[in-house]
């Protein structure tokens, strides 16, 4: 008897694992849509951090392109090295702030949904499904927020750079130059969002159903 | 998996201990109940008597410290995570005091969610979900979110959801606890109807004697121990007795 039961459950397990990817996708999207403002708060953290990153990346490119094309005076090597290390430090700081901000937001979003997670587990969701829901949601948020962050940062830097360094310098970066910073921003923003979500998602997914159900929030 | 056994759920000497600091609380202290296939069983006991703890143990939501739960003669302690998920998905429907619908989903989406976990194709799921919502009298509210429904309506959706994968057992923990008397009675009657129409075994915890009338048997629990078991016949007498006092 146990044997038949387990055989049957084995096929069940395969189906549970394979089928709902598309569904997980739509549930994650829906969850962002319905919790729009909460999602926007999370997204705002990512957006600001990535906007900051974009301004620094683009300013560095403007300087490089401007100097290469003779639009800006060549600074002495010492000042240039100092600027580079300052930029690196700023970028690192901004990324740390973004990561902590996202981890915090995702932890909150997971915590306020303990009961929902517990319920889903009662309905037969596997840990993998719950984890996937949160990771997908984070992925969507990461891509959207980093794209917007890049746009904001770029607009700010283009305007600021246009006035302080001159409009030819803004043009000197070139479409490819801007596109490259876009790719960097989206990749970094999304990867950081996923990394910051992984542990809260793991925690939520592996929680026993009773614990998840008991939490009253 | 044709099981000839008369009992769909058996618990044997269940013990659940909560330790808080140095004090030990035996929330279940050797509970053995045999639950017949197709019966409507009520767990009756005051608040804190161990009903929810027993509910969680039977439903595979929590592990007892001692003793075993057998569902269809399978000891659920032997199941791995995926098999437990399968059990929760196909064999057991859960109903909670607080309804526990997924807030971002419509009534229909809530009802079809367990079907997604069971791998039912989505058009088939929608068709079955609509049928179930019709059965609980909410077919016309299928696109409403839980917040747009009353407590009684939410619990009806939860009942439809619990039946999604045609389970053998429905576990209900104080299903009427958050409802007024009249709505509570409607929910209990609906559960009884599902029990009669679908042959699903119902195990329902309550602390309200008024919710016992539909039961085939009532298991009285106190301080983690089965105090006594009433059969339907005994019940009719006591209920009749209560009504005479009015
Ligand atoms: N997580 C827990 N930690 C400590 N004690 C608990 C916990 N859950 C339940 N209890 C205790 O176990 C006893 C039985 O609780 P419960 O099964 O919820 O009762 P009922 O559902 O009948 O009201 C109660 O005394 C309760 O305080
Ligand atoms: Mg309880």
- pLDDT (tens digit per residue) in B184-213: 999 999 999 999 999 999 999 998 888 898
Nearest-angstrom CA–CA distance, B226 and A118: 28
B59 to chain A: which residues are within 8 Å by CB?
A: 122
Please choose, from the candidates B83, B235, B23, the residue with its C-alpha nearest in 3D space to the C-alpha of residue A124: B83
**Cα–Cα distance, A6 to A47 (Å, whole number):** 48
Q: Is A164 on the interface with B (CB under 8 A)?
A: no
pLDDT at A15: 46
In this prediction the pTM is 0.83
Residue B116 in any domain: the answer is yes
Structural domain contains residue B163: yes
Residue B236, pLDDT score = 63
Report if residue B71 sits inside a domain: no
Tell me how far apart the alpha carbons of residues B108 and B190 are, in angstroms, rounded to a whole number: 19
What's the pLDDT at B243?
Answer: 47
Total count of domains within chain B: 1
Segments in chain A below pLDDT 70: 1-20, 215-217
User: Residues lining ligand 1, judged by CB closer than 6 Å?
Assistant: B 18, 20, 25, 27, 45, 47-53
Give the CA radius of gyration of chain A: 23
The answer to whether the beta carbons of residues A63 and A72 sit under 8 Å apart is: yes
Cα atoms in the 13 Å half-sphere on the side-chain side of A128: 13
Q: Does B96 touch chain A (CB under 8 A)?
A: yes
pLDDT of residue A20: 62
Handedness of CA A52, A202, B162, A216 (dihedral sign): negative
Q: What angle do CA B63, B117, B125 make, to 5 degrees?
A: 140
The predicted structure's pLDDT at residue A110: 79
State the complex-level ipTM: 0.85
Mutate which of B47, B50, B224 to test ligand 1's pocket (most atoms within 8 Å of Cβ)?
B50
Say how far apart CA A13 and CA B155 lie, in whole Å: 29
Asked, for residue B13, whether it belongs to a domain, the answer is no
Compute the mean pLDDT over every residue in chain B, rounded to the nearest whole number.
Answer: 91
Q: Which domain does B217 fall in, by range?
A: 40-63+79-244
CA distance B233 to B235: 5
d(CA B172, CA B100) in angstroms, rounded, equals 12
Q: Which two tokens stand for residue B182?
A: 């009249």
Within a domain: residue B212? Answer: yes
Tens digit of each residue's pLDDT (9 = 90 or more) over A78-124: 888 888 888 888 888 878 877 887 778 777 877 888 888 889 999 99
Q: Is residue B1 part of a domain?
A: no
What CATH code is carried by the domain that includes residue B235? 3.40.50.300
Separation of CA B111 and ligand 1 centre (Å): 29
Inside any domain, residue B97: yes
Positions in chain B whose pLDDT score sits under 70: 1-4, 235-246
Partners of A123 on chain B (C-beta within 8 Å) are 88-89, 94, 113-114, 117, 161, 164
Q: Is residue B232 part of a domain?
A: yes
């Amino acid at each position: 008897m146990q044997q038949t039961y387990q055989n049957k459950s084995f096929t069940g397990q395969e189906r549970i694992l394979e089928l709902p990817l598309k569904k997980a996708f739509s549930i994650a999207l829906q969850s962002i849509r319905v919790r729009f403002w909460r999602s926007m708060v999370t997204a705002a953290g990512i957006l600001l951090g990535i906007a900051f990153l974009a301004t620094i990346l683009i300013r560095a490119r403007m300087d490089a392109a401007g100097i290469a094309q003779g639009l800006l005076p060549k600074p002495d090597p010492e000042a240039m090295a100092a600027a580079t290390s300052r930029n690196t430090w700023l970028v690192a700081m901004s990324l740390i702030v973004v990561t902590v901000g996202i981890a915090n937001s995702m932890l909150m979003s997971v915590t306020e949904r303990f009961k929902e997670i517990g319920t889903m587990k009662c309905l037969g969701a596997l840990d993998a499904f719950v984890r996937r829901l949160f990771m997908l949601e984070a992925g969507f948020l990461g891509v959207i927020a980093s794209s917007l962050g890049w746009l904001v940062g770029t607009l700010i830097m283009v305007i600021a750079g246009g006035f302080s360094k001159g409009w030819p310098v803004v043009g000197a970066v070139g479409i490819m130059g801007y596109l490259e910073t876009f790719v960097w921003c989206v990749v970094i923003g999304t990867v950081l969002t996923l990394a910051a979500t992984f542990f809260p998602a793991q925690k939520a997914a592996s929680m026993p159903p009773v614990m998840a159900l008991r939490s009253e929030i | 998996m044709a099981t000839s056994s008369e009992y769909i759920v058996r618990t044997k000497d269940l013990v659940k201990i909560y330790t808080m600091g140095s004090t030990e609380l035996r929330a279940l202290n050797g509970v053995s109940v045999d639950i017949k296939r197709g019966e409507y069983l009520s767990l009756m006991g005051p608040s804190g008597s161990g009903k929810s703890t027993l509910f969680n143990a039977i439903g595979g939501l929590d592990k007892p410290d001692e003793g075993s739960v057998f569902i269809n003669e399978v000891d659920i302690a032997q199941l791995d995570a995926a098999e437990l998920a399968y059990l929760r998905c196909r064999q057991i429907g859960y109903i909670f005091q607080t309804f526990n619908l997924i807030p971002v989903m419509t009534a229909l989406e809530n009802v079809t969610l367990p079907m997604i976990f069971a791998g039912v194709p989505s058009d088939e799921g929608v068709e079955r979900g609509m049928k179930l919502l019709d059965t609980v009298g909410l077919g016309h509210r299928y696109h409403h979110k839980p917040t747009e429904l009353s407590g009684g309506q939410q619990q009806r959706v939860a009942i439809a959801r619990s039946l999604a994968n045609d389970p053998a057992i429905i576990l209900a923990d104080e299903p009427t606890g958050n409802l007024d008397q009249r709505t509570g009675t409607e929910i209990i009657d609906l559960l009884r109807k599902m029990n009669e129409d679908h042959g699903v075994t119902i195990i329902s915890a309550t602390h309200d004697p008024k919710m016992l009338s539909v039961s085939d048997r009532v298991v009285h629990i106190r301080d983690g121990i089965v105090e006594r078991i009433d059969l339907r016949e005994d019940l009719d007498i006591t209920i009749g007795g209560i009504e005479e006092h009015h």
